Copies of this chain bind each other. A is one copy, B any other.
């Protein structure tokens, strides 16, 4: 849309470059080069690299030396063609830019890396066609496993993966099965902490701004909220407002809440964005948080600790989510044919400045 490629930048030393080209590009070194350099067979080199067989210490040393000298990097394509496995795992998501993902992706990649795996990233952008294409690519790539961090995926596609012996870890799916584990985020514990916190501050009139992730109408957070309120707050007054996770829906919910006969003393929003919307609208209405009303969010997005007041919020450790997802994948890969597991990631409350006792 703007700006164009500049003209080619000036460059010195053409001759040198050309020479280098002739040297470096002269075919990458292969396992036979190393074998020759070490005076052994390719089988031995392979065994040294993969530690697949006992190799005499001296042979081993000279092979390693030869690898070093030749500046040898094994060809991953050839390796996996021959061995039938790859060291690649996929991470499929609907939207990498959504708040939870950046850190999750980072943690996922780092954990995979440490186990010798590379991560390929796939963003479906909520498009089922794209998702199907992505799955196809993953199969073509012969990935060892895939983490499906997307809202919902055609079960047929999942089968396609499982059937090809690719490990799958899904998020918040209901069932595990052979070769397929499930990471479930345990919203209930965090919600319970939040409600208990409000109850202990003395709140008796707490409302929830819900937003449902599942299309089937079930809503884990809302249900947990209602259940927790019933448990922690005797004679509670409560209500549930509907939002859609977006800032604006938080604002709309605030307007509804303000229009109600009696103002609640605390609000639990299903995510931070809506909480920020609530915050803005309530401030506009002249209310002070937390003096007039307490507010709790969900997700612990980057801004939660910077907002005015800093937002009390329920969150989960993205690092843990990433790590345990990779672990689950690895477990499935290591034990093909075994039954998948269910991994629960707890959520917890982070207390900040947006909650206080209700006005007397």
Contacts and interface: CB of A to CB of B under 8 A. Distances in A.
A105 interface: yes
A262 interface: no
Contact of A164 (B28, B97, B105, B118): B28
B121 A177 contact: no
A8 B179 CA distance: 12
B81 A77 contact: yes
Nearest to A78: B81
Interface residues of A, number: 83
Given A120-B120, A121-B120, A137-B118, A142 B76 contact: yes
A288 B26 CA distance: 66
A245 to B, nearest CB: 13
A298 interface: no
Nearest to A101: B102
A259 interface: no
Contacts of A175: 9, 11
A contact patch SS: mixed
A50 to B, nearest CB: 13
Contacts of A1: 320
Most buried by B among A17, A113, A134, A176: A113
Interface string A26-59: 0010000000000000000000000000000000
A283 interface: yes
Copies of this chain assembled into the complex: 2
A1 B327 CA distance: 13
B303 A8 contact: no
A75 B163 contact: no
A175 B6 CA distance: 12
Contacts of A164: 24-25, 28
Contacts of A97: 102-103, 106
A167 interface: no
A3 B345 contact: yes
A153 interface: no
Given A11-B178, A97-B106, A247-B306, 6 more contacts: A5-B341, A8-B339, A73-B139, A77-B86, A113-B123, A118-B137
9 contacts: A2-B346, A8-B339, A77-B78, A91-B121, A99-B302, A106-B123, A109-B121, A109-B123, A113-B130
